[in-house]
């Protein structure tokens, strides 16, 4: 039984787990420390002999996720040194017979602020076995380390540049793991979906991708304006008492990473607004990875020829508002302030008229689900399918039988069903008790995803047609 694979930087040895061999913690770039902090990813120097890749690498430095109340608590496991790693899950037969399997490269969410491709939430073992395909998950820099905008020191969408480096690593190395570099679907959830679409549209990476899997992308969040990003960077430097200009790079690289995290938390508090889910730093328009807004690129046909599977959960925004007493106790007058803007306020009035028994909190949450997630999802699907491209749209409607927080099918709720990693969500309110019903739904949902990745088609699921809601598939 083969458990080794050769990469451009050295040989790695993984761990056999049933039908799958898992290679965890493979470096795809050098450690972003010292002079490489706030710098584009650089090639890893490599190693001699066989590197044991039996454990995931550390997460990128980060604070606790704001979604822990929904998804469950994570014990901090970050370390700046050695954090730029990826994980490959491949069928044993793909290593033994050296044949090529389709590849899914999947990026985690977390608001460009938290998460790790190495967490057991996203273990690709089950998915790789189910689809007889290769699954890759990866870390990328987050928060200020990934999205501080200081072009003068080389800091521009570094998280997006990390993701591009992952795709180039896959192109150069995945064949050794039984993967087909000519059949690569890029996917992700939330911020990961946002990133996946950017990678599929960017001329620097689009040629490495044949399909896109976009789960709960926050399409209502436009890329950050460079001037706004520069102003936020200036605020961040002030919090750190670091001078602006080229000299800031040396000062930032000398600070303890914990100090950078604390200042980012302070910055987030300063920019917190009721109803606003945007982090203070996220992909900047015109910087590497985001040469144009997704809407403009899509309209100009930059996604043409690629298969697309896109969807949302039914109640996305409850993850952000369900535990916020300011939203839960909001009045109708206060709700109008949250959904500021004439069009959004008209939408509020329409929702209220259609659902006279709904609380202001519920109406706000439904509007934000549509404005931030669902409307953009359907806009992307309508345009892509109108061009004759294979397009599939889903909505994940499952909610736990005991739903004391009224989360419904909230943001992230489909993730344990996709990866089959129920045991990793031991204290997750979004999941509840797991039994035969949940495992059956998981197999149905995950099988549909794997069929898309491997064949660009899904049996018994008609491709989406523009403005045809009957072609949306619901999972409950």
CA 452 from chain centre, in angstroms, equals: 18
Q: How far, in Å, CA of 390 to CA of 374, rounded?
A: 19
- Residue 63 has a pLDDT of 95
**Does residue 246 lie within any of the structural domains?**
no
**Does residue 379 lie within any of the structural domains?**
yes
CATH code of the domain in which 49 resides: 3.40.50.1820
Q: Is the confidence at residue 245, as pLDDT, over 90?
A: no
3-state secondary structure of 355: coil
Helix (H) or strand (E) segment spanning residue 382: helix 375-386
184 and 167 Cβ atoms separated by less than 8 Å = yes
- Per residue in 115-151, pLDDT (tens digit) is 999 999 999 999 999 999 999 999 999 999 999 999 9
Please state whether 143 falls in left (phi above 0), alpha (psi between -120 and 50) or beta: left
**Does residue 199 lie within any of the structural domains?**
yes
Cα dihedral 290, 294, 300, 303 sign: positive
Q: Is 73 designated active site?
A: no
Which one of the listed residues 65, 206, 411, 442 is annotated catalytic? 411
Tell me whether strands 101-107 and 179-189 are parallel, antiparallel or unpaired: parallel
**Does residue 248 lie within any of the structural domains?**
no
Between CA 455 and CA 371, with CA 451 as vertex, the angle to 5 degrees is 105
Which one of the listed residues 65, 190, 198, 428 is annotated catalytic? 190
Q: Is the confidence at residue 91, as pLDDT, over 60?
A: yes
**Does residue 464 lie within any of the structural domains?**
yes
- Per residue in 426-460, pLDDT (tens digit) is 889 999 899 999 999 999 999 999 999 999 999 88
**Does residue 49 lie within any of the structural domains?**
yes
Q: Is 108 designated active site?
A: no
Q: Is the confidence at residue 192, as pLDDT, over 90?
A: yes
311 and 445 Cβ atoms separated by less than 8 Å = no
pLDDT over 70 for what percent of the chain?
Answer: 99
Tell me whether strands 10-13 and 4-7 are parallel, antiparallel or unpaired: antiparallel
- The arrangement of strands across the sheet holding 4-7 comes to 4-7, 10-13, 50-52
Structural domain tally of the chain?
A: 1
Q: Is the confidence at residue 342, as pLDDT, over 80?
A: no
- Per residue in 28-57, pLDDT (tens digit) is 999 999 999 999 999 999 999 999 999 999
Q: Quick one: average pLDDT of 384-397?
A: 98
Interhelix angle 191-201/158-173, rounded to 10 degrees, is 70
Q: Quick one: average pLDDT of 334-353?
A: 77
**Does residue 232 lie within any of the structural domains?**
no
431 and 410 Cβ atoms separated by less than 8 Å = no
Listed in sequence order, the residues at least 6 apart from 98 whose beta carbon sits closer than 8 Å to its beta carbon are 178
- Per residue in 349-379, pLDDT (tens digit) is 888 888 888 999 999 999 999 999 999 999 9
**Does residue 234 lie within any of the structural domains?**
no
Strand partners, 135: 89, 104
- Per residue in 253-278, pLDDT (tens digit) is 999 999 999 999 999 999 988 888 99
> Among candidates 459, 474, 463, which has minimal Cα distance to 389?
463
3-state secondary structure of 378: helix
Q: Is 195 designated active site?
A: no
- Residue 384 has a pLDDT of 98
Domain limits for position 64: 4-223+287-475
Which one of the listed residues 80, 156, 316, 371 is annotated catalytic? 316
**pLDDT band at 343; cut points 50, 70, 90:** low
Extended beta strands in 36-96, E state: 50-52, 85-91
Q: Quick one: average pLDDT of 178-207?
A: 98
Q: Quick one: average pLDDT of 266-292?
A: 95
Listed in sequence order, the residues at least 6 apart from 313 whose beta carbon sits closer than 8 Å to its beta carbon are 216, 395, 396, 397, 409, 410, 411, 412, 413, 414
Mean pLDDT of the chain: 95
Q: How far, in Å, CA of 89 to CA of 95, rounded?
A: 11
Q: How far, in Å, CA of 202 to CA of 211, rounded?
A: 14
């Amino acid at each position: 039984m083969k458990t080794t694979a050769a990469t451009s930087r050295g040989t790695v040895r993984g761990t056999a787990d049933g039908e799958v061999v898992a290679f965890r913690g493979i470096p795809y770039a050098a450690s972003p420390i010292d002079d490489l902090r706030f710098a584009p990813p650089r090639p890893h120097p490599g190693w001699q002999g066989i590197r044991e890749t039996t454990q995931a690498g550390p997460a990128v430095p980060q604070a606790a996720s704001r979604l822990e109340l929904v998804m469950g608590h994570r014990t901090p496991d970050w370390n700046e040194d050695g954090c730029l790693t990826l994980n490959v899950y491949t069928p044993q037969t793909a290593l033994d017979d050296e044949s090529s399997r389709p590849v899914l490269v999947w990026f985690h969410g977390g608001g460009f602020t938290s998460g790790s491709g190495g967490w057991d939430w996203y273990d690709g073992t089950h998915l790789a076995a189910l689809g007889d395909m290769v699954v890759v998950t990866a870390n990328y820099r987050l928060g200020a380390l990934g999205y501080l905008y200081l072009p003068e020191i080389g800091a521009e969408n570094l998280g997006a540049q990390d993701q591009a480096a992952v795709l180039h690593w896959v192109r150069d190395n995945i064949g050794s793991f039984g993967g087909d570099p000519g059949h690569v679907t890029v996917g992700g959830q939330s911020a990961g979906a946002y990133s996946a679409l950017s990678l599929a549209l960017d001329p620097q990476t689009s040629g490495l991708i044949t399909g896109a899997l976009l789960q709960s992308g926050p399409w209502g969040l436009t890329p950050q304006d460079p001037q706004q990003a520069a102003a936020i960077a200036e605020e961040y430097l002030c919090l750190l008492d670091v001078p602006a200009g080229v000299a800031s790079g040396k000062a930032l690289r000398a600070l303890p990473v914990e100090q950078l995290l604390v200042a980012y938390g302070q910055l987030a508090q300063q920019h917190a607004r009721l109803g606003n889910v945007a982090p203070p730093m996220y992909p900047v328009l015109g910087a590497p990875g985001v040469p144009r807004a997704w809407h403009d690129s899509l309209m100009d046909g930059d996604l043409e020829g690629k298969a697309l599977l896109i969807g949302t959960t039914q109640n996305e925004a409850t993850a952000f508002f369900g535990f916020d007493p300011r939203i839960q106790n909001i009045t109708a007058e206060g709700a109008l302030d949250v959904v500021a803007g004439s069009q959004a306020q008209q939408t509020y009035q329409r929702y209220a008229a259609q659902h006279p028994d709904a609380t202001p909190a519920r109406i706000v949450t439904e509007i934000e689900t549509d404005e931030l997630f669902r409307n953009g999802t359907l806009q992307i699907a309508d345009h892509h399918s109108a061009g004759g491209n294979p397009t599939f749209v889903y909505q994940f409607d499952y909610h736990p039988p005991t739903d004391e927080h009224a989360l419904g099918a909230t943001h992230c709720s489909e993730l344990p069903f996709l990866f089959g990693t129920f045991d990793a969500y031991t204290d997750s309110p979004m999941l509840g008790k797991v039994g035969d019903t949940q495992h059956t739904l998981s197999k149905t949902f995950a099988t549909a995803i794997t069929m898309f990745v491997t064949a660009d088609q899904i049996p018994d699921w008609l491709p989406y047609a523009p403005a045809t809601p009957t072609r949306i598939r619901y999972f409950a």
